[in-house]
Structure 1
Amino acid sequence: MTVIALAAGGTAGHIEPAIACAKAIKDLDSQSQVFIIGTDKGLEKDIVPRRGIELSIIPATPFPRKINLALFSLPFRYLAAQRIAKKLLIDKKVDCVIGFGAYASLPVYMAARRLKIPVVIHEGNKKAGLANYLGSKFADEVFQMFPESITGAKTVGMPLRKEITNLNVNENKIFAYQVFGLDPARKTLLVFGGSQGSQTINRALVGALPELKDLNIQIIHAIGSKNIVDESTRNFDFYHPISYIEKMELAYAVADLVISRAGAMTIAEQTVLGIPAIYVPFAVGNGEQTKNVSALIAAGGGILIADNEVSSSAISELVSRLILNPAKLQQMSQVSASQGLRDADIKVAQSALALARGHK
C-alpha cells in the first residue's frame, strides 16, 4: 500500500490545496493511504478532520518577526518538531511527502530528506515562502501556481476542490438563488475578506449601502465568523450578511462581480470560473497578495484597490461603474478565465504517486 503524507497548515490557502491533492490521490489510487501533517495552532485542526482526512500533529515553529525569547528558542523547538515529524514518517511507512509551505512543512521536508523519502512541493504564492524556498533545493519535483515563483518549477495552477473546478454555473444558479434567498432578476455582488473576514472591507461596504440601494442589485456579504452584523444594515433588504459561506461554489454560481482579498486560493478559484473581481490585497508581510494578483490586474481581469484606499465612496463608485456594465463585466470575465488553470491537483498527485512507487 502506498502511503503519502501532505504537510500543510496555518491558513486555508495552504490547507485547501492539500485536501484537494489528498482527494486526487485517492481518486487515482483507491488503495493508497493519505494523511495531513499540521499543527494544533492553525485552521487545519478543524478543517481537515471535518473533510474526513486524518490529521497528525507536530509542534508549531513559526519564525518570530521580532527579536525576543521565542527567536532564541526557535532552533530547539524546530529540532523537536523535526524529530516528531521523522518518527511519524517512519511509523506510518511514508513513501512520499507533498508540502504546501508554511511553518508546518519545513520540519517534514527535512525529516523526509534524512530518511531519503521523495519530496514534492507546491508553491501557491507569487513569492515563495521560506519553507518552500529551502525545500525546493532538494525536492524531487516542484510545482507552482504562478510562473517564476521558484526557478525550475512547473507552473500548474492551484490544486482546487472539484466542487469549484467542476462547477456548472447554469445548472446550479437557480438552486443557489434559493439557498441565499436571492432574486434571479437582480445582479449579485459577492463580498468576502478571506476565512476570517475583513474589517476594512466590512466597514466600507456597510457605509456604501445607502449609495448602492438604488442600483437594483443584491449583495451576499461573508462578514467573518468572529464579526457581528451591523444593526444599521437591517434597513437594506438587498443586503444579505452571512458569518461564513460553507458552499462557496454556490455563491460563485450567482456572483456577477466579487470584492475580495487577493490570496492565491481566491485568485485561482475566481480565474478558473472566470469571475470579474475587485481585489483588495491584504496589507501584511511583503506585499505577497499584491504580487499574486499583479498579472491578472495588468491583463484586465480584475480591478485593484489598495487596502488603505478602501472607503465607502470608493466601493460605491467601483461597483456602480462595473456591475451595471455587462460589456465590461464580460471583458473582465474572459480575461480572468484565460488565466485560470485546472487539474493542478491531478498533476501533483500523479507526480507523488509515481515517486512513491519508485521509493518502494
Structure 2
Amino acid sequence: MTVIALAAGGTAGHIEPALACAKAIKEKGSSVEVFIVGTEKGLERTIVPQRGVELAIIPSTPMPRKVNLSLFSLPFRLFAATRIAQQLLRDRKVDCVVGFGAYVSLPVYLAAKKLGVPIIVHEGNKKAGLANRIGSRFAKQVFQMFPGSIKGALTIGMPLRREISTLDKDATRLNARKSFGLASDKKTVLVFGGSQGAAFINQVISESLEQLQKMDIQVLHSIGNKNRVDEATKIYDFYHPVSYIEKMELAYAAADLVVCRAGAMTIAEQTVLAIPAIYIPFASGNGEQRENISELIKDGGGSLILESDLTSNLLVSRIREIFESPTKLAQMSLAAGKHALRDADQKVAESALALASAHK
C-alpha cells in the first residue's frame, strides 16, 4: 500500500489545495492511502473530516512575529512536534510528504527529511513563508503559484477543487442566483473576506448600502461565521448577507464582480474563472497579499484598494466606475483570465505518486 501524507492547516488557503490534491491522488491511484496532517487550532479540524479525508493531529508550532517568551520556547516546541511527526510518518509507513506551508508543515518536513521520505513543497503566495523556504532546501520537487516565489520552483498555479476549475459560469448563472434568492437579471457583487470573514470590510459594506441601492445592483455578502448581520442592513432588499457560503462555485457563477481579500486561493479561483475583482489586501502578516496581486493589478485583471484607504465612498465609486463602463467588466475579465493556470492538482498528484513509487 502506497501512503502519502499532506501537511496543511490554519486557513482555507492552505487546506483547500491539500484537499484538491488528496482527491486527485485518490483518483489516479485507487489503492493509495492519503491523509492530511494538521493541528487542533486550524480550520482543518472541521473542513477535512467534512470532506471525507482522514486528519492526523500534531502540536501547533506558530512562529512568533515579535521577540517574546514564545519565541524562546520555539526550538523546544518545534523539536517536540517534529518527534511526534516522525513517529506518525514511521507508524503509517509514509512514502511521500506534500506540504503547503503554514505552521504544521515545518515539523513534517523535518521529520520526513530525518526518515528519508521524499518531500514535495507547494508555495501558494508570492512571498514564500518560512516553513516552505526551509522545506524547499531539501525537497525533491518544489511547486509555486506565482513565478519567483522560490528559486528553482516550477510554476503550476494553485490546486483547485474541480467544482470550481471546471465551472461553466454562464450555464450555471441562473440556477446559482436562484439558490441565493437573487434576481436573475441584476448585476451582482459578491463580497467575502476569506474563510473567516473580515470585520472591517463588513463594516464598510454596511456603510455603503445607502449609496449602492441607487445603482440597480444586488449584493451577496458572506460575512463570516464569527460575525453577525447588522440589523440596520435589513431594510435593503438588494442586500443578501449570509454567514458562510458552502458552495463557492455557485457564488462565483452568480457574480459579475467580486470584492475580497487577496489570498492566493482567492486569486487562483477568480483568474481561472476570469471574474473581475476589487482586491483589498489584508494589512497584517508579512505583506504577501499585496504582492500576490501586484502583476494582476498591473495587467488590469483587478482593482486595488488598500485597507488604509478603504472607505464607503471609495468603494462605491470603484464599483460604479466598473459597472457604468460598457467595456470595463469585459476588459478586466479578459485580463484576469490571462493569469489563469489550470490542473495544478493533477501535476502535484502525478509527482507525489511517482516519488512515492520510487521510495517503496
Answer whether TM exceeds 0.5 for this pair: yes
CA positional deviation for 1:199: 1.6
CA positional deviation for 1:171: 2.2
One-letter code aligned to 2:288:
E
| Deviates most, 261-270 or 65-74 | 65-74
Equivalent in the alignment of 1:199: 199
One-letter code aligned to 2:48:
V
**1:234 maps onto 2:234 in alignment:** yes
Q: Is the 1:221–1:241 contact (alpha carbons within 8 Å) kept by the matching residues of 2? A: yes
1:29-178 correspondence to structure 2 within 5 Å: 29-178=29-178
Q: Is the 2:191–2:219 contact (alpha carbons within 8 Å) kept by the matching residues of 1? A: yes
SS at structure 1 position matched to 2:265: helix
**1:255 maps onto 2:255 in alignment:** yes
CA positional deviation for 1:196: 1.4
Task: Give the Cα separation in 2 of the matches to 1:263 and 1:280.
Answer: 10
CA positional deviation for 1:209: 0.8
| Deviates most, 49-58 or 196-205 | 196-205
| Deviates most, 310-319 or 69-78 | 69-78
Equivalent in the alignment of 1:8: 8
CA positional deviation for 1:67: 2.3
CA positional deviation for 1:36: 0.3
Task: Give the Cα separation in 1 of the matches to 2:336 and 2:251.
Answer: 17
Equivalent in the alignment of 1:332: 332
Equivalent in the alignment of 1:358: 358
SS at structure 1 position matched to 2:191: strand
Task: Give the Cα separation in 2 of the matches to 1:46 and 1:254.
Answer: 26
1:279-290 correspondence to structure 2 within 5 Å: 279-290=279-290
One-letter code aligned to 1:122:
H
Equivalent in the alignment of 1:295: 295
Q: Is the 1:37–1:58 contact (alpha carbons within 8 Å) kept by the matching residues of 2? A: yes
Describe the superposition over 1:125-149 as per-residue Cα deviations: whole angstroms up to 9, x where unpaired: 0011000001101100000000000
Task: Give the Cα separation in 2 of the matches to 1:299 and 1:171.
Answer: 28
> Over the residues paired in the alignment, what is the CA RMSD in angstroms?
0.8
| Deviates most, 92-101 or 62-71 | 62-71
Structure 2 portions without partners, runs of 5+: none
Describe the superposition over 1:212-256 as per-residue Cα deviations: whole angstroms up to 9, x where unpaired: 112110000111111111111111100000111111100100110
1:301-312 correspondence to structure 2 within 5 Å: 301-312=301-312
Equivalent in the alignment of 1:266: 266
Task: Give the Cα separation in 2 of the matches to 1:242 and 1:344.
Answer: 31
TM-score where L is the length of structure 1: 0.99
Task: Give the Cα separation in 1 of the matches to 2:252 and 2:303.
Answer: 18
**1:181 maps onto 2:155 in alignment:** no
Give identity over the alignment, percent: 63
Q: Is the 2:178–2:184 contact (alpha carbons within 8 Å) kept by the matching residues of 1? A: no
Task: Give the Cα separation in 2 of the matches to 1:242 and 1:176.
Answer: 15
| Deviates most, 237-246 or 202-211 | 202-211
Task: Give the Cα separation in 2 of the matches to 1:100 and 1:150.
Answer: 13
TM-score where L is the length of structure 2: 0.99
One-letter code aligned to 1:157:
G
Task: Give the Cα separation in 2 of the matches to 1:200 and 1:304.
Answer: 16
Structure 1 portions without partners, runs of 5+: none
CA positional deviation for 1:357: 0.2
One-letter code aligned to 1:314:
L
Q: Is the 1:256–1:323 contact (alpha carbons within 8 Å) kept by the matching residues of 2? A: no
One-letter code aligned to 1:281:
P
Task: Give the Cα separation in 2 of the matches to 1:248 and 1:281.
Answer: 20
How many equivalent pairs are there? 360
SS at structure 2 position matched to 1:258: strand
Q: Is the 2:256–2:276 contact (alpha carbons within 8 Å) kept by the matching residues of 1? A: yes
